[in-house]
Amino acid sequence: MMHKGVPLFTVYRSDLDPVESPPLDKVAAEVRTRLQDALAARHEQGSAKRLAIGTALAAAATVALAIALIALYRSQRRLLAVIDTKLVRLSNRHLLNWRVLLLGAERYLLIVSAAVSAFALVYLWLAFALAQFPYTAPWGARLGQSMVSLGERLAGGAIDALPGLVTVLVIFALTRFAARGLTLIFDAVESGRLALPGLHPETVGATRRLTLVVLWLFALTVAYPYLPGSQSDAFKGVSVFLGLMVTLGSAGIVNQAMNGLVLVYSRALKNGDYVVIGDVEGTVSELGPLSTKLVTRNDIEVTVPNSVITGGKIVNASRLAEGRGMPVTTTVTIGYDTPWRQVHAMLELAARRTNGLREDAPPKVRQTALQDFYVAYELMVRLADGAGRADTLTLLHGHIQDVFNEFGVQIMSPNFEAQPHQPVLSPPESWYASPAKQPEHTA
């Protein structure tokens, strides 16, 4: 190899491996090319023009990077604002909704994607800027080669995983189609447009949830082998760990869920029923898979675990009242000196004066017990649609007291100790004693 008439070095045939080395002329040409590139790079290192051009290109790349990062940041903020608005709106409607979970995952993916994009932009800028100067050009070339190599590996992995992903998409598309068909059938049964043996409108909700869960679990089981990385040891380890956690932590949850299914399919109660469970009396506001919520007459919400409900007695005042009105009963005890026919008539009169009772359901009076000193009378009436049980019962009790006072009959509830010389009554002229005020229109 000669440079300006001066020999630099010589390559001999004996310098080469006779088995693996290429021919001498090819090796000589490669050595000449490398030496020329090294000399050219050495010449450029001291060139002011080359440094100026490299500085200008690096500055332009820096400006472009800043513009790209600002645009990325603003786009991320705008998209996050849209997602947060949707999350607030959906969270106000439902306690738990699958769209809320998907939007949360979308928000997290957006943040991660923005961070990865920013890192990629900085990486490309660094590789480009280093490549503009002779001293750092090897570092820039190495960074560029690493990026190309990573892109090739990612592209190759994506191409290899493409058939499996297509299979997974087909499986979930078919599952979605089947779930939509089942939902239409369940909606028709719930609305009464379709009748299926063994499926009642009040059990459609639980049956729909169970069927869809089983359907999607089956689809996930079928699609699992086609997921990218499902055969890797890391994926299998995570699956085993999650399965162990679910097994150890779901014993109590499964017990509550099974009790919830017993409640639903026994049709013991449903939303809107007025029930008595243990010492709690109120309206069912939510029949969940793990617990049931009741709203008492004082507007207090009581949560009762399903295992407690199935292990005790349920008194449902609404189940047999559909179309006839909810029955309401009250009891008074009257002495034997008052004719029972008169007591029946007075209780019926008090019921007719009470607003909120069905006019087509006449009151019923029963004598439930003949005690030592008095008779126990039970009055049963039925509520009109939309009437509150506690408020109507309060009005009924007031009218019972008024009627019995009007006719001079003493109510001996709750206990009898001795027969007084004079009946213990409240005369009409004292009904509105101070601070009570007489209404303008008295029923």
pLDDT means per 10 residues in the chain (443 residues)?
A: 63 67 74 72 66 84 92 90 82 61 82 90 87 76 80 76 83 90 83 72 71 85 77 67 62 62 70 83 79 85 81 79 84 86 91 90 92 88 87 92 88 66 70 66 53
Q: Are residues 40 and 52 in the same domain?
A: no
Q: Rounded CA gap, 219 and 217, in Å?
A: 5
End-of-domain residue from the set 301, 320, 339? 320
Q: Are residues 100 and 126 in the same domain?
A: yes
- Judge whether 370 lies within some domain: yes
CB atoms within 10 A of CB 91: 13
Tell me the chain's radius of gyration from C-alpha atoms: 43
How many structural domains does the chain have?
A: 5
The partner residues of 334 in beta bridges, in order of sequence, read 375, 411
Q: Are residues 34 and 106 in the same domain?
A: no
Question: What pLDDT is attached to residue 375?
Answer: 87
- Judge whether 212 lies within some domain: yes
Cβ–Cβ under 8 Å, residues 377 and 352: no
Q: Are residues 14 and 98 in the same domain?
A: no
CATH number of the domain encompassing residue 310: 2.30.30.60
- Judge whether 369 lies within some domain: yes
Question: What pLDDT is attached to residue 66?
Answer: 93
Question: What pLDDT is attached to residue 9?
Answer: 65
Helix (H) or strand (E) holding 293: strand 291-295
Residue 387, helix vs strand vs coil: coil
Q: Which residue has the tokens 């009257």?
A: 334
Helix (H) or strand (E) holding 82: helix 48-93
Alpha-carbon distances of 196 from 162, 203, 212, 322, rounded to whole Å: 42, 12, 18, 22
Q: Are residues 81 and 131 in the same domain?
A: yes
Q: Are residues 58 and 17 in the same domain?
A: no
- Judge whether 436 lies within some domain: no
CB atoms within 10 A of CB 152: 10
- Retrieve residue 240's tokens: 């085993």
Q: Which residue has the tokens 């088995």?
A: 19
Q: Could you tell me the residue range of the domain that residue 282 belongs to?
A: 271-320
Q: Are residues 53 and 129 in the same domain?
A: yes
- Judge whether 266 lies within some domain: no
- Judge whether 161 lies within some domain: no
Question: What pLDDT is attached to residue 300?
Answer: 87
- Judge whether 346 lies within some domain: yes
Question: What pLDDT is attached to residue 283?
Answer: 86
Q: Are residues 241 and 284 in the same domain?
A: no
Question: What pLDDT is attached to residue 186?
Answer: 80
- Judge whether 236 lies within some domain: yes
End-of-domain residue from the set 279, 294, 320? 320
Q: Rounded CA gap, 243 and 237, in Å?
A: 10
End-of-domain residue from the set 110, 135, 160? 135
Cβ–Cβ under 8 Å, residues 288 and 259: no
Residue 90, helix vs strand vs coil: helix
Question: What pLDDT is attached to residue 380?
Answer: 94
Question: What pLDDT is attached to residue 436?
Answer: 57
Q: Are residues 188 and 234 in the same domain?
A: yes
Cβ–Cβ under 8 Å, residues 407 and 346: yes
Q: Are residues 351 and 311 in the same domain?
A: no
Q: Where are the alpha helices (DSSP H) in 132-203?
A: 137-191
Question: What pLDDT is attached to residue 378?
Answer: 95
Q: Are residues 243 and 218 in the same domain?
A: yes
CATH number of the domain encompassing residue 375: 3.30.70.100
Q: Rounded CA gap, 176 and 172, in Å?
A: 6
